[in-house]
Amino acid sequence: MNEREHFDQPAETLSAETRSELIAYNRIIPRVLRNMMLLSILLLAPAFWFYRWPGSIGFAFGAAVSYVNFRSLTRGVEGLTDRIVNRNSREKGGRIILRFLVRYGLVGAVAYAIFKGSSLAFRGFLWGLCVPAAALMVEAVWEGYTAFRRTS
C-alpha cells in the first residue's frame, strides 16, 4: 500500500505503525515554525554584526514576513487539499487563491519599501527571507538523526 492510500483510509483501519507515522508527520509543521522563531532570534546577532542596525531591522522584517508567509502557505495548502478531498468544504476556492496572492503581495510590498529605504536593510531583509530554508534544513537533520537512532 503506498503512502497516498494511507490518507484515503479511515484512521481506524490503519495499522499502529502507519498511525504513528501520520502523527509524526503532523508534528513537522509546528516544529518548523518553532525552528523559524528560534533561528530568527539566533541569526539576529550575525545580521547586526554585518549590517548594524539597518540590516538587523531589515532582517527582523524579513524573518517576520517569512514566518507569516510560511504559516499562510501551510494554511492555504491545508485548505486547498481539504477543498479537493471534501467537496462539502466550507472554505471557498476564491478565498484560498486570494490568500496565496496576498502572501506574494505582502512580500513584494515590504521588499520594495525596504529597498527604497536602505540597501543594508534590504540585505538584512533577504537574510530574513532565508529563515524558512534554514529551519527546513534543521528539520531534515532532525529527521535524519531520528531515523538513524531508530534503526540502531
Instruction: Supply the range of the domain harboring residue 68.
Output: 38-151
Cα angle, residue 1 at apex, residues 78 and 74 outer, rounded to 5°:
10
> What per-residue confidence (pLDDT) applies to 12?
60
Give the amino acid at 139. Answer: E
Out of 22-31, 35-44, 74-83, 84-93, the most confident range is 35-44
Asked whether residue 5 is assigned to any structural domain, the reply reads no
Position 66 confidence tier, pLDDT thresholds 50, 70, 90? very high
62-91: average pLDDT: 81
Q: How many CB atoms lie within 10 A of CB 99?
A: 15
pLDDT at 53: 93
Question: Number of structural domains, the chain?
Answer: 1
pLDDT higher than threshold 70 for residue 103:
yes
DSSP 118: -
Mean pLDDT, range 119-126, rounded to an integer:
90
* Portion of the chain with pLDDT greater than 90, in percent: 41
Contact 139, 31 (CB under 8 A): yes
If pLDDT is split at 50, 70 and 90, which confidence band does 146 have?
confident
pLDDT at 11: 53
Q: Is residue 121 part of a domain?
A: yes
Q: What is the pTM for the complete model shown?
A: 0.75
In a domain, 126, yes or no: yes
Whether 14 is covered by a domain: the verdict is no
pLDDT at 152: 63
State how far Cα 86 lies from the chain centre.
Answer: 24
- Determine, yes or no, domain membership for 51: yes
Cell of 100: 496565496
Cα separation, 41 vs 139, in Å, equals 17
Q: Which residue has the higher pLDDT, 135 or 103?
A: 135
Tell me if 145 is assigned to some domain.
Answer: yes
Assess if residue 97 is contained within a domain. Answer: yes
Whether 10 maps to a domain, the answer reads: no
